[in-house]
Amino acid sequence: MTATHTVSAKRLVVQFISFWLLWFIVQIGLNQPIQRHFAGWSQEILLDLIKLIVWLGAAWWFLHQTPAQQLTVPNSQQWRVAWRFTAGYLVFGAVVVYLLFQFWLAHHGLRIAHGFIPEYWGRYFLVVGITEEFVFRGYFLNVLLKKTSLTTANVLQAIAFASLHIPRYLTTVPAMSLTSWIGNLISVFALGLLFGWLYACSHSLWPGIVTHMTWDILVTLFA
């Protein structure tokens, strides 16, 4: 594969580091003050708008700057629904059964978490899945698959995906324990591999988006 047909490694690293720093600044400069001074739906709407603007804007910009020949899947094509992707249904069903069984064992039944509030349907269901899948699978994995094997590309984007959760962990109050840090990063890395595999096999963002949304809302609802 010639260099003109792939995004350079240097460019990808610069894009990722720039986005990581941008999101860290947003967490400190916008999200934390909003969480201190707002509550309820006003807080939720502001946080959701910020994430939508920053993440969708970044993904759009990255793709806009990338020639079509450097993408594995054209942007318009990756938004098509992969209705015939049978593995997507199987993975989705397995995720739902696994999580519900885990929570049922842990709590001797399924009970909604005491800290769950209706606003979380926006943050942990509608917004997170779309924004994070568009950036990491819709752009980073999309261009990495043009450069290297599925295994290597998937591992690289999963590492990047996990590390982008660090700005939120760094700004969480009260501070997270080291055990929580390690456990969360390993879990997010594994999920990144799963979402990446769904994208690579289906050439569609939707299997990953739906599975991502479902994982986050079930964990928030029943954990």
Q: What is the pLDDT of residue 4?
A: 72
Looking at the 3D structure of the chain, how many domains does it have? 1
Higher pLDDT, 175 or 159: 159
Global pTM reads 0.94
Tell me the two tokens of residue 105.
Answer: 């064992």
Amino acid at 78: Q
- Split at pLDDT 50, 70, 90, the class of 145 is very high
Q: Who's near 38: CB < 8 A, 6+ residues apart?
A: 46
Cα(134)–Cα(66) distance, rounded to whole angstroms?
Answer: 15
pLDDT in tens, 163-202: 999 999 998 878 889 999 999 999 999 999 999 999 999 9
Specify whether the CB–CB gap between 55 and 134 falls below 8 A.
Answer: yes
Dist CA 24 CA 167 (whole Å): 5
Q: How confident is the model at residue 147 (pLDDT cuts 50, 70, 90)?
A: very high
Which residue is associated with the tokens 């995906």?
161
Q: For the chain, give the mean pLDDT.
A: 95
Q: What is the pLDDT of residue 3?
A: 54
Least-confidence region, from 74-83, 147-156, 164-173, 191-200: 164-173
Cβ atoms 205, 76 nearer than 8 A: no
Confidence class for position 110, pLDDT limits 50, 70, 90: very high
Convert the pLDDT of each residue in 22-35 to its tens digit: 999 999 999 999 99
Q: Identify the pLDDT of residue 141.
A: 99
For residues 132-149, average pLDDT: 98
**Residue 94: domain span:** 3-222
